[in-house]
Structure 1
Amino acid sequence: MLTNSEIFETCRRLIAADETPVPVAGVDDLDLPAINRYFLRLAQSELTVDNSELLLRELVNTGIMIETTDGIFPTLAGILAFGKLPQRFFPSYEIRASAYASSNFDSDAIDQKDIQGQLADMINGAIGFVTRNIKNHSTIPDGVQRVDRLEYPIEAIREAIINAIAHRDYLISGAAIRLFIFEDRIELYSPGGLPNTITLETMKYKQFSRNQTLVSFLTGLGFMERRGKGILRMINLMREHGLPPPRFELIGEELLVTFYSSAFYVLREVIHARNPGIRRKT
C-alpha cells in the first residue's frame, strides 16, 4: 500500500504536474465560493453541496479534482487556484518578494513579503508589492492637472508575474518564485527552464504551456489570453514607456526576467565616468 506522498510522487512522473492528485486534500479543502465565481465567469451553473455526486462530477470535469483508483482528490492546479489554504499543502509555491534601496543586496531590504494564497491572491499581492515599492513620477504638463506615472508600466510587470505562476516548473519542489526590486531594475526568478522546444530566441513568438490546466484556470479567471502573446505585450509596453525591452536569461534551473528602469542607464554612466576602463554592459 503506497503512502500519500508516494502516490503523489508516482503521479507526478506519469501526468502533467498541475494535473497531479493531492491525496492529502479533499473537497472540503476547496473554496466553493471562489469556484462558483469562476463558473459564473464561464456562464456555468453554480455548484452546491446539496448534491455531492454532481458536485464531484463537475469538479472532475473541470480539472479541479481528479478521479484515481484510490478516490477523488483535488489536483495540484485545483488546490493552487481554488484551495482554501494552498500553501498548507505546498509551502514553497509562493512569491518571495524583497525591495532594496540600492542596486544590489549590500543594503538591508526596505520591504519584504511572502505572498501566498490562491493564484489570484498571489498575482494581486505581487502587483501591490511592486506598486508600493517603485517610484511614482508626478508632472503637471498643462500647468493645472497633475499626472502620475509609475516608474515601470505596471501591466508589463503583471504579465511577467502571471507568466511566472503559469509556466513555472511545479516538479521542482521547495523552490518559490522570487521577486526583487532594486533602485534601477526589477528581477523575477521563476523555477524551471524552458519547456519543450522553446528557446530564449523563439519564446517571443511561440505559444507554450507547461501547465495547461493551470493556464485554463488563469484564462477563465481573466488573467490570461489564449493567444500566447504575453511576452510581445511586455516588450511593447516597456517600449511605449520609454524603457528597454525586458531581458530573459536562463540562470541554472531558473528563468530570470529583468526590467530595467531609466535609472539603470544613469547609474551605468556614473560608474563608467568614475571607471573609464570598465566595459559597458548592454
Structure 2
Amino acid sequence: MLENISDLLKQIALGEDSILELKNISFKNDKISGPHRNGMADELAAMANTHAGVILLGIDDRTREIEGIPSEKLDLVEDWLRAICNDLIEPPLDCLIRKLSLPVQKEEEKIIIRVDVPRSLFVHQSPGGYFRRIGSSKRQMKPDMLARLFQQRSQARLIRFDEQVVPGAWLDELSPTLWNRFRTVISPHDDQEFLLKMKLIAPGDNDVLCPTVSGVLMACETPDAFMPGAFIQAVCYRGIERNGGYQLDAKDISGPLDIQIREACQFVERNMRVYAIKAPNRIDTPQFSLNAVFEAMVNAVAHRDYSVYGSKIRLHLFADRLEIFSPGTIPNTMTIDSLSERQSARNELLTSLLARCPMNFNAIGSQRSSIMDKRGEGVPIIIIESEQLSGVRPEYRLLDDAELKLTIYAAPPPAEHG
C-alpha cells in the first residue's frame, strides 16, 4: 500500500482519508510533547479495527507540509511508538515501523517515520475506548457495532455469538418437541444434560441456565419474540421495481429456522411463474431453480449475523429476479470472489443443528437428506443451476460492509430463448 514514493507524495498532497493519517511530531528537550500518547494509541487502534492503513509521522496534517523528524530523534520516536502499541493498546498491536527519506523543495530531503497498521484479526481497545476509522477521523463504536466487530473477528478464545445466552429468555420457552429432534441413540437421557451438551442452554447471570441464541432460533416456536430480527420478510412485486403499491404477496416468516427456510421456499414456489410449452410433450420451465432457491435460503439463514440487532433477512421477488438480503458482512478471510470455492461458518453451532434437521422441502434436483450440508456445495449449486436456467450468472454484492445481497435472475419465457 503506497509503497512507491511518488504515489505516497501524491496521497500526502491530497490529505488524510480512511487509510492515511498525518501527524507532526513536537519535542521538548529529550521527550515527545505531541501528539499525546493516548491520542496516538486511539488513532492506531481505530485504524486496526477498520482497514489496513498508513500513519506518517513528521507531516503537518493541516498544511500537508513535510516537516520531518531530526535524525537524532528517530530512535526516540520509534521507541515511543512501540511502547504505545505494547502498553496502551489491548491486545497489543503489531505494526511495521520504517524510516523514510522524502524529497522537499530545492532538492532537500527530510526524514519521516512510516507506520503500516494491519487490519487486525482482533478488536483493539485503546485508552479512549473502542474506535473505528470513518474517513479521516476516528469515531467511538456504539455497542451494536462493537458486538458485530467482535463476532466478525472472533477467535477460539471468544464465545461465539450463537452460543451466548439470550437475555430475557427462560428454559420453558424451549419446546421439547423441537429440541428432542436433535437427540440420537447416544444422547444423554437427562434433559438438562442433553441441552447443555448441545449448547441449546448455558449458564447466564448468577449461573442461572438460560437458552442460547441457537436454542432460541432452533427450539423456540417464536424466536423473534426474543430476537426481533429473527425472521424473514418476504415480498412479491408485480413488476421489476420495489414499490409498495405493486405488492402481490407479502409475509413475515417466523418460527424455528428450518421452518423459516421451508416457508420462504414455498413463498417463492407459490409466486414464481412456470412456463409451459408442448414440444410435443408438455415441458415446464420455472422462473427459478427451486434447488438453488433452497440453497440460497439455507445459506442466508445459517450464515447471517444475528448480532445485528433488529435486522432481518429480506426476500424480494420481482418479475425478472429474486433478491435475498442477509445481515452482516462475510466472515473473516472470505471475499465475494471466493464464496464458491471456500467455506467459513460464522455460526458453527447453528450449522451443526441444521445438519441434523431432515430435508423438509421438495427442492427439485436436490440429493439432500438433511437441510444443511457441510461440504460447501451450496453456492456452486446456486450459481450453476440458476445460470443454466436463466443464462445469467447470479450476483453477490456486499453492501456497506454490513449486508450481503444475492440476486438470482429469472428465466425468460421460452419464446425469448430465441
Where on the TM-score scale, by shorter chain, does this alignment land: which range?
0.7 to 0.9
Native 8 Å contact 1:36 1:46 kept in 2: no
Residue 173 (structure 2) aligns with: 29
In structure 2, distance between residues paired with 1:46 and 1:111: 45
1:131 aligned partner, one-letter code: E
- Matching residue of 1:17: 161
Residues 53-105 of structure 1 deviation map (CA, whole Å, 9 limit, x = unaligned) = x2111101011111345221111011101112211111221100111111102
The structural deviation recorded for 1:242 is: 4.5
After the TM superposition, which residues 117-136 of structure 1 pair with which residues of structure 2 at under 5 Å, given as runs? 117-136=255-274
Structure 2: which amino acid aligns with 1:128? Q
Question: Match of 2:199?
Answer: 63
Structure 2 counterpart SS, 1:155: helix
Residues 196, 202 of structure 2: 8 Å contact kept: yes
- TM-score after normalising by structure 2: 0.56
Give the distance between the partners of 1:240 and 1:104, measured in 2 at CA: 25
Equivalent residue, structure 1, for 2:404: 255
SS of 1:262 mapped into structure 2? coil
AA matched with 2:213: L
Q: SS state of the match for residue 104, structure 1? A: coil
Residue 290 of structure 2: which of 125, 134, 154 is its match?
A: 154
Is the contact made by 2:386 and 2:409 (CA closer than 8 Å) also made in structure 1? no
Residue 259 (structure 2) pairs with residue 111 (structure 1): no
**Is the CA contact 1:80–1:86 (under 8 Å) kept in the aligned structure 2?**
yes
Task: Determine which structure has greater relative contact order: mean sequence separation of CA pairs < 8 Å that are 6+ residues apart, divided by chain length.
Answer: 1
The aligned counterpart of 1:275 is: none
Task: For 1:230, give the aligned amino acid.
Answer: G
**Aligned equivalent of 2:278, options 140, 145, 158:** 140
Please tell me the residue identity of whatever aligns with 1:154.
L
Structure 1 pair 74–261 and aligned structure 2 pair: CA distance change class (3 A): same
Q: Which moved more, 1:249-258 or 1:64-73?
A: 64-73
- What is the alpha-carbon distance in structure 2 between the residues aligned to residue 15 and residue 123 of structure 1? 26
- 1:111 and 1:35 mapped to 2: Cα distance? 32
Describe the superposition over 1:118-163 as per-residue Cα deviations: whole angstroms up to 9, x where unpaired. 11111111011111111011233334xx443321101101111110
Distance 2:161 2:179 in 1: 21
1 or 2, which has the higher helix percentage? 1
1:23, 1:261 → 2: CA distance? 42
What per-residue deviation string (whole Å, max 9, x for no partner) do you get for residues 189-218 of structure 1? 000111110001111111110000000011
For 1:121, the aligned partner's letter is I
Task: Give the partner amino acid of 1:239.
Answer: E
RMSD: 2.4
Where does residue 98 of structure 1 map in the other structure? Answer: 235
Q: 1:237, CA displacement in angstroms?
A: 1.5
Where does structure 1 differ by over 6 angstroms across 4 or more consecutive aligned residues? none
Amino acid at match of 2:239: S
Residue pairs, 1:197-212, within 5 angstroms: 197-212=333-348
What amino acid is the match of 1:96? Q
Which ranges of structure 1 fall in alignment gaps of 5 or more residues?
Answer: 1-5, 48-53, 268-282
On the 8 A contact 1:94/1:122 being kept in 2, the answer is: yes
Q: Which amino acid counterpart does residue 203 of structure 1 have in structure 2?
A: L
Corresponding position of 1:50: none
Correspondence for 1:276: none
Measured after TM superposition, the shift of residue 112 of structure 1 is 0.8
Q: How many matched pairs?
A: 248
Query: Deviation at 1:34?
Result: 1.8
State the shift of 1:186 in Å. Answer: 0.4
Residue 88 of structure 1 corresponds to which residue in structure 2? Answer: 225
Larger radius of gyration: 2
Residue ranges of structure 2 left out of the alignment (5+ in a row) = 1-142, 152-157, 358-369
Percentage identity across paired residues of the two chains: 32
Q: Find the aligned partners of 1:75 and 1:25 in 2 and give their Cα distance.
A: 9
Cα offsets for 1:2-45 (capped at 9, x unmatched)? xxxx9xx99x8752111111242222111111222232xx4555
Closer/same/farther in 2, CA of residues 46 and 139 from structure 1, 3 Å limit: farther
